[in-house]
Amino acid sequence: MKKIFRIARIAAILLAVTLLVVGAYVEFRLQVLRRSPEVDLSRIAAESSIVAVVRPELAIDQIESILSERVGFSVPRWIVRRALPFQAAIVTSSDYDDSEVDLTAFLNPRHFGKELQGRLNKRGIQSILPEIQWAEAGIVTETPGVLQAQGAVAMETEAQEAAWYLWKQSFKPAPLPFKGQHFIEVVMDNRDGGAYLAVASLLHAFGIKLDEDQTDISLSSLKFVTESRMLVDIAPEDILVLRLSIEIRPDAVNRLGVINFKVGITELIVGWGEMLTTEYALPFEGESSWDENVMHFNYRVKGATKVMQIAMEGKLFKTKLHTLPPVERVRKRNVVRKL
């Protein structure tokens, strides 16, 4: 009997050690218990033309509902929160020396950072967005807790020439303030032409141009814009709130191109709202207005969960676009932007 107890005791110890080793390995790979540090991504606004940041936890009710519906059972809130990243961001900046618009993608996960990095690099980020020439290093960790990837697209030739003649200057304006406490926040800084150049180059890289019946929303109108900010938030009772402000050069407020630009954006948003109301029975309301030289667009949709769901299905926007011939890829880069 003593021999049996001794064997059972040794087996229990071996099992405990095995579980400990396996648990340590799983924790090392998946980072289930340890939490990555939350990094203030608003610092990346410096020297950037466009900054877009998403904070998923500010829509956790909607995400939990969508996820539970997809898997067929109620997913505990703590699992959803553990899986969601703190935030994700995309930044653009102008590199005139190499005639490129640089892009940096950031992801600040709570957990599973190493596993996510390994899976994405195994798949290859170039295959996810081939229109962008990504650095050969792939997804790296330059800052603790933050995954990032550096890419670039060639500057669109005409936009580059326009930027040179219209905004040629030796100084760099101070970064625009970044709030960082919204579900989605997009800040566009065009005081030196950077946002105009980035938008034109990205549209060209993805082979997209505005449809002929959308000429009111044209790249030429962006030349009069100094800065813009878009905020998307989730309000109580499952309401999605969209706020967009566009600051125009004071001397250009009464230009026909600017007036048409505002009308075009209003019609685009209202048309989108009509689609949500007609096809998905989602109440939509709001208005656009002027405040001196700033355009304001404020709209609300009742049914934020449904809006997010159809966005995940790729049905949120139905914009008619023309495809341009493929552009020549910029040369491979192996540069990583540090946070």
The whole-number pLDDT of residue 181 equals: 85
Across the chain, which has 339 residues, the per-10-residue mean pLDDT values are: 53 42 40 59 72 93 91 87 89 90 91 81 82 90 85 91 78 75 93 91 83 57 92 96 96 90 91 94 95 96 95 73 40 46
Q: Contact at 8 Å (CB) between 113 and 139?
A: no
Question: What's 237-277 look like in SS3?
Answer: CCEEEEEEEEEECHHHCCCHHHHHHHHHHHHHHHHHHHHHH
Q: Which amino acid, residue 136?
A: E
Q: Are 147 and 116 in contact (CB under 8 A)?
A: yes
Contact 53, 87 (CB under 8 A): yes
Residue spans of beta strands (DSSP E) within the chain: 50-54, 87-95, 100-108, 133-134, 140-143, 146-154, 184-189, 208-210, 225-235, 239-248, 284-291, 294-302, 321-323
Residue keyed to tokens 């326009």: 162
**What pTM, to 2 d.p., does this model score?**
0.81
- Give me the amino acid identity at 185: E
Give the ranges where 72-219 is alpha helix by DSSP (H): 77-83, 113-123, 125-128, 157-167, 194-205
Q: Of 105, 185, 143, 107, which Cα lies nearest the Cα of 339?
A: 143
CA distance 212 to 263: 15
The per-residue pLDDT for 324 is 38
What is the structure's pLDDT at 127? 81
d(CA 263, CA 71): 43
Please, what is the end-to-end C-alpha distance for the chain in angstroms?
64
How do the domains of the chain map onto residue ranges? 1-30, 39-184+191-206+324-339, 208-319
Rounded Cα–Cα distance for residues 41 and 180 (Å): 8
C-alpha angle 230-224-185 in degrees, rounded to nearest 5: 10
> Whose CA is closest to 303, among 270, 279, 287, 267?
279
pLDDT value for 212 = 46
Architecture of domain 208-319: 2-Layer Sandwich (3.30)
- Give me the pLDDT at residue 119, please: 85
Residues 6 or more apart whose CB falls under 8 angstroms from that of 297 comprise 242, 243, 244, 245, 265, 266, 269, 286, 288
